[in-house]
Structure 1
Amino acid sequence: MTEQQSNDLDPQPQRDMTRRRAVMAGGAAVAAVGLGTAVATTASAGETSATPSASASSSSGEVCYRLTSETTEGPYYIDADKIRKDITEDKEGIPLTLRLKVIDSESCKPLAKVAVDIWHCDALGIYSGYEDSSAGGGTPPTGTPPTGTPTGTPPTDTPTGAPTGAPPGGGHQEPTDDERYLRGTQLTDRHGVVEFTTIFPGWYRGRCVHIHTKVHVGGTMTDAGYEGGHTCHTGQLFFAEEAVLASAEVAPYNTSTTERTTLDEDGIYPGNGAQGGLLNLKYRKGKIEKGVLGSLTLGVDPDATHDGTDL
């Protein structure tokens, strides 16, 4: 499917407007990464986050927003058949702990035992299952500096202008190989939380750094994976420019020869902060290679169907 920005869609317009709210995950991170001065980022230079609006339906003191933004699933989705927490499969990169909480956007109550599916490229922009077709960046010859690798300190050196290239599209593609690294599915606990162990994604031509995600409800866990039910949310998780610039100084990201699209240039990120999937990130300043904690609360309508093909 062609990846493209979309507006929130509500197939049941008769539902109360409180159904079109989501939760900001300002307090979702529960642990600091490493010691020393920590950096917490949620937006790139020049961006503004949505203004919070308290919901009377929230009994837990959380702040409610509109539904988390929907996007297309992209061409590299593979059905949820890897039920696991650690999806790295020894792939090299900056350690990333991804903590997601799923709530009902009307009541703000956590959704337990729903399946959260994530997948993303490796440090050089390659997707498992599609190694021959995904557009990653290789290692430049010895002594040749990588082209397109971001340098400097934001916001003064943040690239501007229209993105070059285009995101991969043309609808869903069938896998070209049997690799399944950096893909996984888990059921939320009674607090609506899942936590994945992975690596900080790299980038590929036409797209900013991101992670794909789906939330499935009403199905069952089997030996073959999660089956049945329906997909109530298909979205993407995004990374603040400051963190991406820091990652680009670390191997193997600094060997990429692929021109990078920034968050502001990306054609899919809706530019609306946490509602649009912008992660809260914590890492040690100047030591991002030690690890990153990313967190977000996803507000979904469990009765809706958003499988990424309706946009």
Structure 2
Amino acid sequence: MTEQQKNGPESQRDMTRRRILVGGAAVAAAGLGAAVVTTASAGETSASSTSATPSASASSPSKEVCYRLTSETTEGPYYIDADKIRKDITEGKEGIPLTLRLKVVDSDTCKPLAKAAVDIWHCDALGIYSGYESASTGGGGTPPTGTPPTGTPPTGTPPTGAPTGTPPGGGGGGHLEPTDDKRYLRGTQLTDTHGFVEFTTVFPGWYEGRSVHIHTKVHVGGALTDSGYEGGHTCHTGQFFFAEEAVLASAEVAPYSTSTTERTTLDEDHIFAGNGAEGGLLNLRYRKGKIGKGVSGSLTLGVDPDETHDGTGR
């Protein structure tokens, strides 16, 4: 007799619930060949080598399964209000292609939120934010000289206590006014009737004091205008994070490999809550040994559309 048979239907329902929660909005890997898959669940991450077979999606989760609220975080100092309604946010920036597929659901009812505006913004491959090129603390700007670093990128301990001086990019600190008119790697889209939205971007780089991440906001109750998305309120402000294995693989690919910036690991990051998908840890897929060909990232966001979380009071 198997363990499932011993424990009965209740154990089987629990296992089904865990599978759905871990799956998030998983992107099928058909046609990828052998792939590295990193999955995220509350409190754990794992990576494995797998054959390419279509994976189950959370596009139609069981009505009995509801999602925990996705962790709220600070918006950071480099947010610019939603004014670029678009899927492709690369604007020609170099980097590993990243397809980011997100699903937004009401954490109480599990129903998808249609026509919610999802903002994302992140640094480029060398840690620079558009709109704040002179204020960013990444490894961009003047190209590094000498022999590029090899092997594992250096790591550093994140700052502790109240921030001093220039706030760490994308971390804590109050909002800063833009220093330039660049807007690459920023964009907004409305979710479809199933709660999905998809962005075409590049794998972010790293900069001092923070692990690799993407910022996000979810807005509801507003509408599209000629100036962008206006009205309503922000029901979620969070960040997406990347498994260490994927970051180390990206560091072997140019232009990431030219960065001389001290790198903070996921475990050292002072924003990531360490609670897996609930804290924003993405499900990632890419070809083993060929991450430069592209990465697919996905996650289901559980939000409370009646709450306001603009991320400015943290």
Q: Which residue is equivalent to 2:177?
A: 174
| Deviations 1:24-59, CA, capped at 9 Å, x for gaps | 351522332763211111359xx626xxxxxxxx97
| Deviations 1:268-302, CA, capped at 9 Å, x for gaps | 00000000000000000000000000000000000
Q: Is contact 1:24–1:296 with CA below 8 Å preserved after alignment?
A: no
- Give the 5 Å matches for 1:183-262: 183-262=186-265
Q: Is contact 1:140–1:146 with CA below 8 Å preserved after alignment?
A: no
Q: Per the alignment, do residues 63 and 244 of structure 1 end up closer, same or farther by CA in structure 2, a change over 3 Å counting?
A: farther
Q: Is contact 1:201–1:209 with CA below 8 Å preserved after alignment?
A: yes
- Give the 5 Å matches for 1:257-272: 257-272=260-275
Letter of the aligned partner of 2:158 in structure 1?
P
Residue 164 of structure 1, CA deviation: 6.0
1:30 to 2, 27, 39: 27
Percent identity among equivalent residues?
A: 80
Q: Which residue is equivalent to 2:277?
A: 274
State how far apart, in whole Å, the 2-side matches of 1:210 and 1:59 are. Answer: 27
Q: Which residue is equivalent to 1:48?
A: 44
Stretch deviating more after TM superposition (32-41 or 242-251): 32-41
Q: Which residue is equivalent to 2:119?
A: 117
1:141 aligns with 2:145: yes
State how far apart, in whole Å, the 1-side matches of 2:137 and 2:177 are. Answer: 16
1:162 aligns with 2:154: no
3-state secondary structure, aligned to 2:296: strand
| Deviations 1:142-177, CA, capped at 9 Å, x for gaps | 3x2338x725xxxxxx96x83369734431000000
Whichever of the two has the greater Rg, that structure is 2
Q: Is contact 1:34–1:290 with CA below 8 Å preserved after alignment?
A: no
- Give the 5 Å matches for 1:91-106: 91-106=93-108
Q: Is contact 2:89–2:187 with CA below 8 Å preserved after alignment?
A: yes
State how far apart, in whole Å, the 1-side matches of 2:24 and 2:307 are. Answer: 27
Residue 232 of structure 1, CA deviation: 0.2
Q: How many residues align?
A: 270
Q: Per the alignment, do residues 208 and 34 of structure 1 end up closer, same or farther by CA in structure 2, a change over 3 Å counting?
A: farther
Give the structure with the higher percent helix. 2
TM-score if structure 2 supplies the norm length?
Answer: 0.81
Q: Give the ranges of 4+ consecutive aligned residues of structure 1 lying more than 4 Å apart after TM superposition.
A: none
Q: Is contact 2:218–2:234 with CA below 8 Å preserved after alignment?
A: yes
Q: Which consecutive residues of structure 2, in runs of 5 or more, have no partner in the other structure?
A: 1-19, 46-59
State how far apart, in whole Å, the 2-side matches of 1:33 and 1:80 are. Answer: 34
Q: Is contact 2:157–2:209 with CA below 8 Å preserved after alignment?
A: no
State how far apart, in whole Å, the 1-side matches of 2:144 and 2:209 are. Answer: 20
* Cα-Cα RMSD: 2.3
Q: Which consecutive residues of structure 1, in runs of 5 or more, have no partner in the other structure?
A: 1-22, 50-57, 152-157
Q: Is contact 1:33–1:282 with CA below 8 Å preserved after alignment?
A: no
State how far apart, in whole Å, the 2-side matches of 1:288 and 1:62 are. Answer: 37
Q: Is contact 1:126–1:136 with CA below 8 Å preserved after alignment?
A: yes
State how far apart, in whole Å, the 2-side matches of 1:62 and 1:257 are. Answer: 49
Letter of the aligned partner of 1:173 in structure 2?
L
TM-score if structure 1 supplies the norm length?
Answer: 0.81
3-state secondary structure, aligned to 1:64: coil
Residue 63 of structure 1, CA deviation: 4.1
| Deviations 1:39-91, CA, capped at 9 Å, x for gaps | 111359xx626xxxxxxxx9725743421000010000000000000000000
Letter of the aligned partner of 1:80 in structure 2?
A
Q: Is contact 1:33–1:284 with CA below 8 Å preserved after alignment?
A: no
Q: Is contact 1:25–1:295 with CA below 8 Å preserved after alignment?
A: no
Q: Which residue is equivalent to 2:313?
A: 310
Q: Which residue is equivalent to 1:81?
A: 83
